[in-house]
Amino acid sequence: MKQDLVKRKLILEDGSVYPGYGFGSLREKKLELVFNTSMVGYQEILSDPSYTDQAVVMTYPLIGNYGINADDFETKIPTTGALIVRSYTEEPSNFRSRETLSACMETYDIAGISNVDTREITRRIRDHGSCKALLADASMSSEEGAAILRNWDYAHDQVSRVSTKEIRVSESIPEEKWHVAAIDCGMKENIVRSLNALGCRVTILPYNVSADTIRDLKPDGIFLSNGPGDPTDVPETIETVRTLHGFCPIFGICLGHQILALSYGAKTYKLKFGHRGGNHPVKNLLTDKIEITSQNHSYAVALDSLAGTGLTVTHENLLDHTVEGICHKNDAAFSVQYHPESAPGPQDSKYLFSRFVQCMKGEDPYAEERRS
């Protein structure tokens, strides 16, 4: 059954207007406009908590063609703000599909607009940076929309909204070997699955968990998850991690990478338009090997702030030379800015979970690379 076409508008803070047709939720939405270059994986992108309050421009033109299935969600309640697409397909063709993308988005109050020039919008973001955007009814004027955006500012409570509200334990696994305490700032489900696959039971904790609570759990390792927003918006998490330096091995991904760096005294900054997609080349500075990585972040660790922190750079982005990985000289602590769980994305970086296990065994995961 074809969806009725409803005229909608995407209005940017400078007054630019992109008329199109709505799908998903038709509520008015004020969001941050970003883009993602992935060719597949819109369900994982839609359900990644790191996209909370963001309108994601999909550069791949055909979206919705394989529908939505029950297995590929990265969180139980998706919080992405909107999808901006060139061509939306309401009649998916996939044996795994259980509903249309639009129906799923309507359930979770996620807005969508199609038939817009996503190439032009992406170039605009690349030239001028991420910006405020409004998805509104077709009757709204550009002046009215721009005025609404001028009087609105980004939220700073995203992590508190998407983090677990209570301590919970991942499903039991065969041959359990390690216990990982995971601080959930908006953690993707495939991270838990990746740790489970290596024999790790995962206790998932709220973002504002105390250091004493983690100590009482007696974990073999601490994991710092991905999540949305500015890492400086969660000072309580940063302080907890700072208190736990040297207690046991720590591994951070994406926002967790930034939190780890801040806990040691480094600084972060907002990128012009961020890194979002499944094809970002990253160089391992210890081996000179190149990994193609999945990424989704707006902030980065400032290279010139690492002096005196005990942190060294292990990975570098080959497109803009930003910091993509760090480790501490003395503590068993390391992190990466990208997503080794790869949902969606390439599998080049899954070895990092094995490195975390090495740390929990008391081994130096970088020993071989330091010798070479």
Q: Provide the annotated active-site residues.
A: 254, 339, 341
23's enclosing H/E stretch is strand 17-24
Q: Please list the residues that pair with 222 across neighbouring strands.
A: 181, 250
Using the structure block, give the residue that is written with the tokens 């190149």.
290
Structure tokens, 96? 């795994």
- Measured CA distances, 54 to 67, 127, 159, 296, 302 (Å): 21, 18, 14, 12, 24
Contact 34, 274 (CB under 8 A): yes
Contact 38, 157 (CB under 8 A): no
Query: How far is the C-alpha of 61 from the C-alpha of 81, rounded, in Å?
Result: 19
Structure tokens, 75? 């969180």
Q: Write 154-158 long-range contacts (CB < 8 A, 24+).
A: 154/32, 154/53, 155/53, 155/229, 156/229, 156/230, 156/233, 157/233, 158/52, 158/53, 158/79, 158/186, 158/227, 158/228, 158/229, 158/233
Structure tokens, 58? 């999909």
Largest separation between any pair of C-alpha atoms in the chain: 65
